[in-house]
Amino acid sequence: MRILANDGISQKGYNALKEKGFSIITEKVDQKNIIDYINKEKIEVLLVRSATKVGKDIIDSCPSIKVIGRGGVGMDNIDVEHARKKNITTFNTPSASSTSVAELVFTHLFSMTRYLFDSNRKMPLYGDSEFKKLKSNYSNGKELFGKNLGIIGFGRIGKEVARIAIGIGMNIIVHDKFISNSNIELKYFNGDTKKIKIKTVSMDTVLKESDFITLHIPKSEDNPIIGAKEIGKMKNGSGIINASRGGIIDEDALMFALDKEKLSYAGLDVYNNEPKPSIHLMMHNAISLTPHIGAATIEAQEKIGLELAEQICSFYNIND
């Protein structure tokens, strides 16, 4: 049974599959050559992350494929519906990277409110000659404690964001069109736990009452979820973070709102045109930027690899 992990797999995931008798290929195959490669090597399991696209062409042209696994949360780079019509099993790893993505959200939040994204650019250039000026420029930072954090999308990652927010004293306001009530469990360092019931509210309430908004929803096939209309409803001087999917925010509307100081800052890990995002967005002086690294931690990659291995073994009825 041959597996192509085209976007890589953690060593722990690799070892777990190897121990069960699978042959795992981690060589990166270019998108234009992948169909020929799969057919030549008689690949049964194709594992991808966000880099490899698995569309109808691959699904229709590669009869040996039985399983397509996505190491991560979203499945927008896989034609899941068509795969299922062809009786190909598809799955992802929705829980493995939740903590890593949630922590990146707060990396951006702290970076935004204390202007680290800008000071880290300016200090190497002007720190020795304009220290006092830079100190003055960054003297109006904000504490997160006591602020309202709006969470749009309350799945696994949204809940993890809420746990961290509560831990640092933020008030959370949640919208999810599929959930009206939900429970989250806080786990303390000494083993104690506490359950908190969360009641979701309307999108308008989140937009109007939040000091910061973070998005954790799948990409829509239609218009962006956050466009000029939605930004117009947000608090003046508020901020927004997208570590979910590119296309959820109208990037032109976002830059316009930042230029006009309707919004003070934004934090982006995902972009409309990956891997070639807008240069205007990249150069904007009010945006904290990362290159789609939400799940890019050692811990998340280990968990993703192990979860992929578990699901593959389950498909082949290989038990411990």
- Domain of 20, CATH number, reads 3.40.50.720
pTM over 0.85, yes/no: yes
**Do 88 and 206 fall within a single domain?**
no
Burial class from Cβ neighbours inside 10 Å (0-12, 13-18, 19+) for residue 32 reads: exposed
**Do 112 and 248 fall within a single domain?**
yes
**Do 54 and 126 fall within a single domain?**
no
Q: Is residue 232 part of a domain?
A: yes
Question: Cα–Cα distance between 174 and 106 in angstroms, integer?
Answer: 17
Closest CA to 305 of 106, 10, 68, 101: 10
**Do 106 and 199 fall within a single domain?**
yes
Q: Give the list of residues 6+ apart from residue 40 with CB closer than 8 angstroms, or none.
A: none
**Do 237 and 309 fall within a single domain?**
no
Given this model, what pLDDT does residue 223 score? 86
Tell me if residue 18 falls in helix, strand or coil.
helix
Q: Is residue 124 part of a domain?
A: yes
**Running DSSP on this structure, what letter comes out for residue 271?**
-
Q: Is residue 15 part of a domain?
A: yes
- Locus of tokens 């996505």: 70
Angle at which helices 11-19 and 298-315 pack, to 10 degrees?
20
Given this model, what pLDDT does residue 320 score? 60
Per-residue pLDDT of the chain (320 residues; tens, 9 = 90+): 899 999 999 999 999 999 999 999 999 999 999 999 999 999 999 999 988 999 999 999 999 999 999 998 878 899 999 999 999 999 999 889 999 999 999 999 999 999 999 999 999 999 999 999 999 999 999 999 999 999 999 999 999 999 999 999 999 999 999 999 999 999 999 999 999 999 999 999 999 999 999 999 988 767 899 999 999 999 999 999 999 999 999 999 999 999 999 999 999 999 999 889 999 999 999 999 999 999 999 999 999 999 999 999 999 998 76
**Do 86 and 134 fall within a single domain?**
no
Whole domain around residue 71: which residue ranges?
Answer: 2-94+298-315
Q: Is 245 a catalytic residue?
A: yes
- Locus of tokens 């000494």: 190
Q: Is residue 82 part of a domain?
A: yes
Q: Where are the beta strands (DSSP E) in the chain?
A: 2-5, 23-25, 45-48, 67-70, 89-92, 148-152, 171-175, 181-187, 193-199, 212-215, 238-242, 263-268, 287-289
Span 272-312, pLDDT tens digits: 998 899 999 999 999 999 999 999 999 999 999 999 999 99
Q: Is 108 a catalytic residue?
A: no
Span 180-216, pLDDT tens digits: 999 999 999 999 999 999 999 999 999 999 999 999 9
Mean pLDDT, the chain, whole residue set: 95
Question: Cα–Cα distance between 287 and 283 in angstroms, integer?
Answer: 8
The active-site residue, picked from 245, 251, 284, 307, is 245
The active-site residue, picked from 41, 130, 274, 302, is 274
The active-site residue, picked from 108, 175, 284, 292, is 292
Please give the structure tokens belonging to residue 92: 């992802």
**Do 156 and 221 fall within a single domain?**
yes
Q: Is residue 320 part of a domain?
A: no
Give the chain's domain count: 2
**Do 66 and 202 fall within a single domain?**
no
**Do 206 and 102 fall within a single domain?**
yes
Q: Is 209 a catalytic residue?
A: no
